[in-house]
A = this chain, B = another copy of it.
């Protein structure tokens, strides 16, 4: 995805947020924001990819903050909150003993709703009851773009590019359905910490490496997938996949620059830039297949 004029202020807002997570020193917060402006000043112009700008901005902020994981606590909180809420989501998708197609669709929907929630905030401000209610509402509304029937025919060798902590816990519902059908899941996580994204360490701590067939990494802390920094085995996995599933907006922003097919983008459209780029509206629950 090419950068939208709405991206720069949003990226700077995120830098400010992570600076606040990292330090109470207002001078250092200013420096992180100035670092972000420096990067924008250097590389932002029409036509650059939003993901690459995001990667450079956050790397610069982490360097200035001297902090390689400002979101560390948020990620732990997110995982705890999501684990506590998993049984409810599980019961909802299995309700009434659905057939395989319906089960897959419901699991996909649950994982897309997982992309909607900010679990780090949830732990403190939202009770389990409130989560259950919001989850149920979104679940009843269903997928606004639903290509799961076509995806169902392509599941024998899935490469699943993960997004955030918290969300990953709900992704296991999808892994379970695919593997219970006798198919294979290769999970792809970030090479090192960036934002709230899942890393190998998170996956191992959560025991999710036991719920899939392989775990690969993107090879770096790029936002989304930076192909110049990706290991060969990841590129080979993409090439040989029966279906690539890409979770969340950052993966869309980077994977949409390549022509891997078939690929399914599973996400909640949380901003106008991504929604427009996909030809959709903001606030949609999406499982969109490109063949």
Contacts and interface: CB of A to CB of B under 8 A. Distances in A.
Q: Mostly helix, strand, loop or mixed at chain A's interface?
A: helix
Interface string A1-14: 00011101110110
Nearest to A19: B5
A41 B41 CA distance: 7
Contacts of A4: 26
A30 B12 contact: no
Query: Range of interface residues on chain A?
Result: 20 to 34
Interface string A67-100: 0000000000000000000000000000000000
A232 interface: no
Given A27-B46, A37-B44, A9 B16 contact: yes
A44 B33 CA distance: 10
A34 to B, nearest CB: 7
A45 interface: yes
Contacts of A38: 41
A217 interface: no
Given A9-B13, A30-B45, 11 more contacts: A5-B26, A5-B29, A9-B9, A9-B10, A9-B12, A9-B15, A9-B16, A26-B46, A27-B46, A38-B41, A41-B41
9 contacts: A8-B37, A9-B12, A9-B13, A9-B15, A9-B16, A27-B46, A34-B45, A37-B40, A38-B41
